[in-house]
Amino acid sequence: MLHGVPCAVLFLETELYGQTFKLHHYGALYWIEQDALLLADVHLGKSAHFRKHGMAVPTQADDAEYDKLNELIALFQPSRLWFLGDLFHSYVNAEWHFFEQWVRMQEIDIVLVMGNHDVIARTQFEKLGIKTVDALHMGSLVLTHHPEEIPGKFNIAGHVHPSVSLRGAGKQRLKLACFFAKPTGMILAAFGDFTGTYVLKPQKTDTVFVIAGEEVVALKHS
C-alpha cells in the first residue's frame, strides 16, 4: 500500500540522479541546474479535435493550457522551455494560429522533443523558432518522448500519462495522475486537460509523486 508524506503547496522539490527538480501540480518539472521547464503531452488542439468530431467540449478549454503555461513561466521564470513530445494533438487547425501567437510573445528558448502525435512538419515549428529534436542529451540525463532504459543514463520522458490507484481504509479507491520515477528514469504527468491517464503499479524501488489538487505528494510503500 502507498502512503503520502507532507509536501509543499504548488510544487515539491526533489533530487534525482544528482540533479534538483521542482514538481508542479500542473504536471510540470522545473530543472534547477538547467533553468529549464519541462512539460510532456500538452496535446494542444485536442479539444478542437473533439468538437470537430461532435463531442461537446466547451470553448474555454482551448485557453486553459495557455493560462497554465503563462502561469508556470511567470512562477519559475525559466530561460528554457522543453516540450517532451505530443505538443500538438493533430494537424494544423484553428488552434495552431493561437499557438503561433503565443510562441511569438515568448522570449525563452523553446525545444520540442518529437512525439508520436507531433505530425505537423518540423519546418512549421522551426519557422516559429522552436528547435525540434528526437532526444535531448544533457550529460547523464536523456530526455525523450517515449520512456527508455539507457544504460548509465537517467531518462526523463512522457507519453504514458501515468496515474496510480490508491486504496483508503474504507476500501474506497482513488485514481490520481502522477510523476512516476524508477531508478532508471522518470515519466512526467500529462500536462493537457483532455489526455486521460494510464494506471501504473509501482514496485518498491519506484518513487511516485501524485498530484492531489494543488499539491504534489511523495508516496512511499508501507
49: pLDDT strictly greater than 70: no
Q: Domain of 117: which CATH number?
A: 3.60.21
DSSP the chain: -EEE----BSEEEEEETTEEEEEETTS-EEETTTTEEEE----BTHHHHHHHTT----TTHHHHHHHHHHHHHHHH--SEEEE-S--B-SSS-HHHHHHHHHHHT--SEEEEE--TT--S-HHHHHHTT-EEES-EEETTEEE-SS----TT-EEEE-SS-EEEEEE-TTS-EEEEEEEEEETTEEEPPP-STT---EE----TT-EEEEEETTEEEEEEE-
Confidence of residue 50 (pLDDT cuts 50, 70, 90): very low
Confidence of residue 145 (pLDDT cuts 50, 70, 90): very high
Total-model pTM: 0.88
5: pLDDT strictly greater than 80: no
Confidence of residue 88 (pLDDT cuts 50, 70, 90): confident
Torsion 209-19-38-106 (CA) sign: positive
Which pLDDT belongs to residue 221? 60
Which domain, by its residues, includes 72? 2-221
Q: Give the chain's domain count.
A: 1
Q: What average pLDDT score do residues 55-77 get?
A: 77
Which pLDDT belongs to residue 4? 47
d(CA 195, CA 207): 22
